[in-house]
Structure 1
Amino acid sequence: MELLETLKRKINSAEELQSLVKTMKALAAVSIREHEQAVESLKEYHKTIEMGFHILLQNRPDEEVGEAGYVEKNRLCAIVFGSERGMCGQFNEKISIFALDRMNELEIKPQDRTVFALGDRVIARLEEAGQPIDKRFSISGSNIGFTLQEVLINIEEFRLKKDIDRIVLFYNRPAAGTSFQPFMVYLLPFDPEWISNLSGKKWPSRNLPTFTMDWSSLFSSLTRQYLFFSLYRAFVESIASENASRLASMQVAEKNIEERLRDMNTGFNLQRQTSITSELLDIMTGFEALMGKSITPE
């Protein structure tokens, strides 16, 4: 049997770990709520960008927009969002497997793929699966806006360098409760159905806004805003999913610790009782020896 001191140290360590797990659960829950609110606030931003495209489409033939989304060379740029930190279950494994499967389904040759990855953990998973990473980005710290702007700059650079004509995002989106699911979004070319719907949509008021800026320049500017919005939404939803996965992992860990603590406390109490009984028997034996008597058990 283990010594009482050893058991006590194990119990103390488990209790400290339990306290840490509870803290991480609380932080994950708070972070989930913060990022859910951020997703809600992004809806107005998206609405503004969409209204800008709506105005442009009302003042320009559809073929102008069609040229911006024209696919010819079938060369892909994939942007994969993962995590920097661990203890988030299968978060990075799921998105890396999902991204690789979808890229294979698109039937794009490996040499025609350009992969950007955000987060050390997902980078490791992709490389373990044999997928080279062209650009790596860290998403730790608070200056995520600067990082996403850097991603946009690299997208434009690689589009010119490698004649990329498809851009897709891969990230995890929150689902019910503490679950999440991998998700893919096409950034470019624009969805023809979306363009068609905007073109045929009526403006909400009687007065259609006008603009004096060059149409192509304004379209390019709105496209950059749309890309930044899409990247930022992917980042926010990915972080919310990461914390949801971490919360689920911490709940499982907390349950396991509680069960382990019950077992150790039971073992400690039994060991202590055994030790007390042994000491009492030693005292009785010593007393009998001193008195020169023997006590016969009843």
Structure 2
Amino acid sequence: MSQSIALLKRQIGGATDLQSVVRTMKAMAASNITQYENSVRALFDYSRTVELGLGVCIRAAKAAGVSSAALPNTGSDKAAAIVFGTDQGLVGQFNTIIADEALQTLADLPGKPILWAVGERVHSRLNDADADSVGRFNVPNTVRAIAPLVGQILIEYEARTRQNPGTQLYLFHNRPTTGSLYEPVSQRLLPLDNAWRRQRSEIAWPTKSPPEVLGNDIQTMRKLTGEYLFVSLFRACAESLASENASRLDAMQRADKNIDELLSTLNSTYHRQRQSSIDEELFDVVSGFEALGN
């Protein structure tokens, strides 16, 4: 009986320590979700400014009679894709869902795409794909680390597609949703086709004073296109990280609940066996006293 009680005490202590770790991870995940969601909201105004500038450049180029062929990123049969995943565990089907979404979409494209994976786990899933290559980037662990990562991705993309400047660029990531933890999202960033240009050119300027493009319209548009890519990749990375932490938070909440139930069972068993042990000791004392009296 004493061995059983000692074992229960060790199990209760271990479960309590584990619950402390789980709750710490819950707090960290919740804090991370907040910082990544705040970064996405903070990016909105800058993204809007870039799109307004692109709309002005497109209208100016059209007014000057510039043909679509002269505009940047007019298209190519070559395709490339960036897939945002995670380096860490405790995220359920996070990497599987986004990898399957990417592979299913890219399977319909001609030729072998160039793939870049952000995260070791999603990289391993994409390695089996029929791709030209599968590069890998490390997942950032803070908001400040997102911008350097985006810069590395853009440099790598330009280096690999220099011979095909109109390479199609696809983006895959998980995005937080209100009804569930997250959902897979796919987007074609490049080329900037006629439909994309028409949508941006129809964005109304927010003031009554019409803007002017100083200098070369095409050069300005190329610069703004680079900013558009930066904003799109930054947002995708931040949303992916928020989704990852939401998935981890959900896993930790389930673990916390399971540990609570386990501790309740262990404590109940411990108190029952402890009471039984006390009753046995009292019975032995009474029996001994009665034996001495006889």
CA 1:132–1:138: 2 relative to 1, 3 Å: farther
Is the Cα contact below 8 Å between 1:126 and 1:132 reproduced in 2? no
- Number of the residue aligned with 2:28: 27
Partner residue of 2:110? Answer: 108
CA separation in 2, counterparts of 1:130 and 1:23?
Answer: 41
The structural deviation recorded for 1:65 is 6.7
CA distance in 2: counterparts of 1:238 and 1:71, whole angstroms: 27
Q: What aligned pairs does 1:232-247 form with structure 2 within 5 A after superposition? A: 232-247=234-249
Of 25-34 and 262-271, deviating more is 25-34
> SS at 1:117's partner residue?
strand
Task: Check if 1:64 corresponds to 2:68.
Answer: yes
Report the alpha carbon displacement of residue 66 of structure 1 after superposing the two structures with TM.
Answer: 7.3
Name the counterpart of 1:225: 227
Distance 1:128 1:277 in 2: 65
* Higher alpha-carbon deviation: 17-26 or 208-217: 208-217
Question: What CA distance in whole angstroms lies between the structure 2 residues aligned with 1:17 and 1:177?
Answer: 30
One-letter amino acid matched to 1:71 = G
Q: Which of residues 251, 254, 269 is equivalent to 2:253?
A: 251
Deviations 1:271-293 (A, max 9, x none): 212222222233233334434x4
Equivalent runs, 1:41-190 vs 2, <5 Å: 41-61=42-62, 63-64=67-68, 67-73=71-77, 75-104=78-107, 106-109=108-111, 112-127=112-127, 134-142=134-142, 143-161=145-163, 165-176=167-178, 179-190=181-192
Matches within 5 A, 1:282-293: 282-291=284-293, 293=294
Q: Percent identity?
A: 37
Q: Flag the 1:8–1:161 CA change in 2: closer, same or farther, 3 A.
A: farther
Asked whether the 8 Å contact 1:78–1:169 carries over to 2, the reply is: yes
Q: Aligned to 2:67, what secondary structure does the other structure show?
A: helix
TM-score, normalised to structure 1, is: 0.88
Aligned residues: 288
Cα deviation, residue 210, structure 1: 1.8
Moved more, 6-15 or 64-73: 64-73
> How far apart in 2 are the matches of 1:66 and 1:234?
29
Q: Which runs of 5+ in 1 are unaligned?
A: 294-298
Q: Is the 8 A contact 1:71 1:189 kept in 2?
A: yes
Counterparts in 2 of 1:272 and 1:162: CA distance versus 1, 3 Å? farther
Q: Secondary structure at the match of 2:214?
A: coil
Cα deviation for residue 214 of structure 1 reads 2.2
| Residues 8, 268 of structure 1: 8 Å contact kept | yes
Task: Structure 2: give runs of 5+ residues left out of the alignment.
Answer: none
Report the CA distance between 1:90 and its aligned residue: 1.8
Deviation string 1:47-66 (CA, Å, 9 cap, x unpaired) is 11101111111211263377
Cα 1:71–1:227 shift into 2, 3 Å: same
CA RMSD across the alignment: 2.3
Alpha-carbon distance in structure 2 between the residues aligned to 1:172 and 1:13: 35
Name the residue aligned to 1:296. Answer: none
One-letter amino acid matched to 1:176: T
2:277 to 269, 272, 275: 275
Q: 1:240 to 1:133 in 2, by over 3 A?
A: farther
Q: Distance in 1 between matches of 2:19 and 2:83?
A: 33
TM-score with structure 2 setting the length? 0.89
Q: Deviations over 1:141-196 (max 9, x none)?
A: 44332221010000011112566621011000000166100100111012533311
Q: How far 1:128 moved relative to its partner?
A: 6.1
